[in-house]
Amino acid sequence: MAPSAPERSRYLDIYTRMTRIHRSDERFRRMLLGGQLAIAYYSPRGQELLSAALMAAVRQDDYLVTTYRGIHDQLAKGIPVRDLWAEFAGKATGTCKGKGGPMHITHPETGVMVTTGIVGSGLPIANGLAWASMLKGEDRVTVCCFGDGATNIGAFHEALNMASVWKLPVVFVCQNNRYAEKTKFADGTACATISDRAIGYGLEAIRIDGNDADAMYDAAARAVAKARAGDGPSLIEAMTFRFMGHSFGDPGEYIPKEEYAAFLAIDPVPAYRQKLLDLQIGEQELGAIDAQILAELEDAVTYALESPYAGEDEILKDVLDVEITPAISGETPFQIEEVA
**Residue choice 3, 80, 128, 188 for contact with its own copies (CB under 8 A):** 188
Q: Does 117 bind its own copies (CB under 8 A)?
A: no
Of 42-50, 71-79, 183-191, 217-225, which segment contacts other proteins by CB under 8 A?
183-191
Dist CA 150 CA 118 (whole Å): 9
**Residue choice 110, 127, 164, 307 for contact with its own copies (CB under 8 A):** 164
Whether the Cβ atoms of residue 160 and residue 168 lie closer than 8 Å to each other: no
Dist CA 171 CA 226 (whole Å): 9
**H-only helix segments in the chain:** 5-33, 48-56, 71-77, 81-88, 122-136, 154-165, 185-188, 213-228, 257-264, 268-278, 283-306, 326-329
Q: Does 127 bind its own copies (CB under 8 A)?
A: no
Q: Does 118 bind its own copies (CB under 8 A)?
A: no
Q: Which is nearer to other proteins, 6 or 308 (CB)?
A: 308
Q: Does 189 bind its own copies (CB under 8 A)?
A: yes
**Residue choice 46, 70, 102, 169 for contact with other proteins (CB under 8 A):** 102
143-162: contacts with its own copies (CB under 8 A): 152-158, 160-162
Q: Does 113 bind other proteins (CB under 8 A)?
A: yes
**Residue choice 33, 165, 225, 229 for contact with other proteins (CB under 8 A):** 165
**Selection from 199, 300, 244, 216 nearest residue 11 by Cα:** 216
Q: How far is the CB of 138 from other proteins (least distance, A)?
A: 9
Q: Please report, in angstroms and rounded to a whole number, the separation of the first and last CA atoms in the chain.
A: 80
Q: How far is the CB of 275 from ligand TPP (least distance, A)?
A: 25
Q: Which is nearer to its own copies, 51 or 121 (CB)?
A: 121
Q: Which is nearer to ligand TPP, 47 or 133 (CB)?
A: 47
Number of H helices, E strands in the chain: 12, 8
267-286: contacts with other proteins (CB under 8 A): none
Apex 33 CA angle, 27 and 38, nearest 5: 90
Binding partner of residue 46 among ligand TPP, Mg ion, other proteins, none, CB under 5 to 8 Å per kind? none
Name, in order, each residue with C-beta under 8 angstroms of 61's C-beta and a sequence gap of 6 or more.
111, 140
Judged by DSSP in three states, 69 sits in: coil
Binding partner of residue 69 among other proteins, its own copies, ligand TPP, none, CB under 5 to 8 Å per kind? ligand TPP
Of 6-14, 51-59, 133-141, 265-273, which segment contacts other proteins by CB under 8 A?
133-141
Given the rule CB under 6 A, which residues bind ligand TPP?
69, 117-119, 146-150, 177, 179-181, 246
Binding partner of residue 217 among other proteins, its own copies, ligand TPP, none, CB under 5 to 8 Å per kind? none
Q: How far is the CB of 311 from ligand TPP (least distance, A)?
A: 30
Between 268-278 and 5-33, two packed helices, what is the crossing angle to 10 degrees? 150
Q: How far is the CB of 199 from its own copies (least distance, A)?
A: 5
Binding partner of residue 197 among its own copies, other proteins, Mg ion, none, CB under 5 to 8 Å per kind? its own copies
Total site size for other proteins, rule CB under 8 A: 88
Measure Cα distances from 234 to 59, 76, 151, 198, 219 in Å.
17, 20, 15, 9, 10
Neighbour order of strands in the sheet with 204-209: 112-116, 63-67, 142-147, 170-176, 234-239, 204-209
Q: Does 317 bind other proteins (CB under 8 A)?
A: yes
The set of long-range contacts for 287-292, using a CB threshold of 8 Å and a minimum separation of 24, is 289/12, 289/15, 289/16, 289/19, 290/19, 290/23
Q: Does 264 bind its own copies (CB under 8 A)?
A: no
Q: Which is nearer to other proteins, 40 or 291 (CB)?
A: 40
**Selection from 298, 249, 302, 181 nearest residue 41 by Cα:** 249
